[in-house]
Structure 1
Amino acid sequence: MPGQRETAVSMPLTPSRSDLYWRRIFEKYDKDKDGRISYVELKEIINSREYEHDLPDNVVDKIMSLADRDNSGYLDFNEFVAMMHNPDLKAVFGHFVARYVHSIIPQRGPVDTTARSKSYFTYADGTYEEEYSCWPPAVCMILISLVEIVLFCYDAAEGNTQANGTIAKLFIYNPHKRQEAWRFITYMLVHVGVVHLLVNLLVQLFLGVPLEMVHRWWRVTLVYLAGVAAGSLATSLTDPKVYLAGASGGVYALIAAHVATIIMNWSEMEFAIIQLLVFLLLAAVDIGTAVYDRYWSHLNQNIGYVAHLAGALAGLLVGIGVLRNLEKRKWEKRLWWAAVLLYCSLMLAGILANIFWTARFQH
């Protein structure tokens, strides 16, 4: 029986095979305690996990049609157990049933059939990792990287690799041409030398593609572009005479977006604490290096640390706002509103300051 369920939903069962095991699950979702699970109760089981935005409208109908063998409009206990072992369910809604079953079936530890007062279920981590998918394809970071390579090679063919070619002059953020608003975004396509290009390509591919596989390319695109825009707006205000080139604002937005998705999907990740520590370590190293170079080594480096910081902040806030949250909790909803309002306020302030604070940009 457990083996059959593994085939159906690709999720392991706990060792217990007793009727008591299934009976306790059945009774948990038999809300009116009439010994039957109705269509409404079945729908509430699924929607209670807050997956209603992901499930097709006809999913519940198909589950009921497959499981309700006597066409009574209800699932009795035997039909419920048969439903949980029905291999056809996987063909009906693929990974949706895996998430549904994962939310109600214990994944680790034996069932204690002697102590009814204790909790019978231990929920496993790893739901987030199950969301990795190659469809739709993760194309955003790959396409952006290809565009950056092609534009760099175009200028390099003319002997210009230091952001001084035809393309670079058109797209770079130039403080003397701030009225050309596209430069606040297109500077991400310009790189100063091969090393600068390769570093950005490697980081954005290794960080961006995994994000796209879970959160889909359009969400990651929003995060990336938000970091790019925030980086240029902040740099123009803090260093109004500085030229800006490179995708670092977007790259740091991707780094912070990983932190955002760890925060919002902490319970669904298998190694959340390890991932969070890795990204915090990366941030600490970068900040520490910037402080050391500026205040102790007194190095004059052409590195836009303000763009890094602004991009990371935008990535964190927009990541919380747009990336997928597999299971919403009340505090996460409050955090979502706080992140969206803070990001919109900062961006509005940055845009208005760049437009109306003319004295800041006088040469």
Structure 2
Amino acid sequence: MPSGRETTVSIPLTPTRSDLYWRRIFTKYDRDHDGRISYVELKDIIESREYDHDLPDNVVEKIMALADRDNSGYLDFAEFVDMMKHPDLKAVFGHFVARYVHSIIPHRDPIDTIVRSRSTTIFTYTDGTYEEEYSCWPPAICMIIISIAEIVLFCYDAAQGKTDATGPIAQLFIYNPHKRQEAWRFLTYMLVHVGVVHLLVNLLVQLFLGVPLEMVHRWWRVILVYLAGVAAGSLATSLTDPKVYLAGASGGVYALIAAHIATIIMNWAEMEFAIIQLLVFLLLASVDVGTAVYDRYWRHLQQNIGYVAHLAGAVAGLLVGIGVLRNLEKRKWEKRLWWAAVVLYFSLMIAGVLANIFWTSHFETTST
């Protein structure tokens, strides 16, 4: 290479799908964005398969030596692509090749955004990026722990012969309209269940919906969504049905359903099957709402199901989900939506809390 001269790398005006795919992977692992893959960054790529045990350092060194043709200590983009396609390294990088084979199946235009700077051109292939964020580390155990707590408390009351929310634990934690001053009940009612079926349904749904969310968004975001739905469910129920006792995690469960809708909205371009997922969750919500309306206004059934808690939990899950769940590619309209969701959620929650505190006349009929 002549000294003192800048090398110009030509990039085709119409990049191939292969170019786009490898450029996206290269950019993802080029942590310091210097246009080169270092030893540490190469190790991150190799360990991204989440092996049970990390590869020894000497193995990474051998791979680096094999791929680094100019012995610079770094891999440029061309060396990186050659390494990924090297026949002797298929056992290590085969998962990237398999992903590429999947990506060449025609479905959407792979060029979603093109980011240009003075030194380089980066093509961002966003189709399916969300699916790549699923990770088993840290382990998704938050919803599992909550579910275990619900099982243990239910079993404690069951050992006393009480499975209908009349046991000592249930009496302490259930939302009781006569004991609204015991503020913990607005949250702890989620630990109380009326019968085995009620418990099992909530457990299955919250695990099925919560664990996948944790794998992408991490436990603390999911617990915020879940607890927001629980609190919204009890606050709304206390205002609309001031005589109702409330038990079960349905507010939190519906918050998780709506949180999936929120993350689909915020990561639409990054999800491979966004429209299918959105339709599934909308169908679930529509069936539940339709059943509630039919039973109440056509069949005139009196049921002990907190549909207001379901609805309020879903609204809270949608708003809080937009506010706290990860947004992989922020756009201007999404920032405006974020602010709208945050302001609306806090407005509704503050109004609900103040109404529960100061609207005493509304609750006088429930006082002992």
- Give the TM-score of the pair, scaled to structure 1: 0.73
Q: Distance in 2 between matches of 1:109 and 1:143?
A: 40
Partner of 2:277: 275
Q: Does 1:133 align with 2:135?
A: yes
Partner of 2:237: 235
Partner of 2:349: 347
Task: Specify whether residues 245 and 27 from structure 1 end up closer, same or farther in structure 2 by C-alpha distance, changes over 3 A only.
Answer: same
Partner of 1:334: 336
- Matched to 1:302, the amino acid is N
Q: Distance in 2 between matches of 1:65 and 1:302?
A: 61
Q: Does 1:221 align with 2:223?
A: yes
Q: Distance in 2 between matches of 1:165 and 1:251?
A: 23
Cα deviation per residue 1:290-310 (whole Å; 9 max; x = unaligned)? 000110101010000000000
- Matched to 1:246, the amino acid is G
- Matched to 2:11, the amino acid is R
Q: Does 1:24 align with 2:21?
A: no
- Determine if contact 2:69/2:79 at 8 Å carries over to the other structure: no
Q: Distance in 1 between matches of 2:178 and 2:70?
A: 74
Partner of 2:116: none
Q: Does 1:188 align with 2:190?
A: yes
Residue identity over aligned pairs, in percent, reads 76
1:2-41 equivalence runs, <5 A: 23-24=10-11
Q: CA deviation at 1:123?
A: 3.8
Q: Does 1:157 align with 2:181?
A: no
Q: Distance in 2 between matches of 1:244 and 1:109?
A: 50
Partner of 1:320: 322
Partner of 1:174: 176
Task: Specify whether residues 292 and 109 from structure 1 end up closer, same or farther in structure 2 by C-alpha distance, changes over 3 A only.
Answer: closer
Task: Specify whether residues 85 and 352 from structure 1 end up closer, same or farther in structure 2 by C-alpha distance, changes over 3 A only.
Answer: farther
- Determine if contact 2:36/2:77 at 8 Å carries over to the other structure: no
Cα deviation per residue 1:17-66 (whole Å; 9 max; x = unaligned)? xxx9x8317999xxxxxxxxxxxxx9xx96xxxx9xxx99x744794656
- Matched to 2:79, the amino acid is A
Partner of 1:257: 259
Partner of 2:62: none
- Matched to 1:293, the amino acid is D
- Give the TM-score of the pair, scaled to structure 2: 0.72
- Matched to 1:125, the amino acid is D
Cα deviation per residue 1:252-284 (whole Å; 9 max; x = unaligned)? 000000100111111111111111111111111
- Determine if contact 1:69/1:79 at 8 Å carries over to the other structure: no
Structure 1: 5+ residue stretches without partners: 1-19, 29-41, 88-97, 112-120
- Determine if contact 2:230/2:313 at 8 Å carries over to the other structure: yes
Partner of 1:212: 214
Partner of 2:79: 82
Task: Specify whether residues 126 and 348 from structure 1 end up closer, same or farther in structure 2 by C-alpha distance, changes over 3 A only.
Answer: same
- Matched to 1:164, the amino acid is T
Q: CA deviation at 1:131?
A: 1.0
- Determine if contact 2:129/2:271 at 8 Å carries over to the other structure: yes
Q: CA deviation at 1:179?
A: 0.6
- Determine if contact 1:172/1:190 at 8 Å carries over to the other structure: yes
Q: CA deviation at 1:133?
A: 0.8
* SS across alignment from 2:10: helix
Q: CA RMSD in A?
A: 3.3
- Determine if contact 1:148/1:189 at 8 Å carries over to the other structure: yes
Q: CA deviation at 1:129?
A: 1.0
Q: Distance in 1 between matches of 2:293 and 2:80?
A: 60
Structure 2: 5+ residue stretches without partners: 1-7, 16-22, 40-67, 85-95, 110-122
* SS across alignment from 2:329: coil
Q: Distance in 2 between matches of 1:25 and 1:250?
A: 50
- Matched to 2:78, the amino acid is V
* SS across alignment from 1:362: helix
Partner of 1:308: 310
Task: Specify whether residues 25 and 335 from structure 1 end up closer, same or farther in structure 2 by C-alpha distance, changes over 3 A only.
Answer: farther
Partner of 2:364: 362
Cα deviation per residue 1:186-219 (whole Å; 9 max; x = unaligned)? 0000000011000000000111111111111111
Aligned length: 293
- Determine if contact 1:317/1:343 at 8 Å carries over to the other structure: yes
Q: Distance in 1 between matches of 2:69 and 2:171?
A: 67
- Matched to 1:352, the amino acid is L
- Matched to 1:81, the amino acid is A
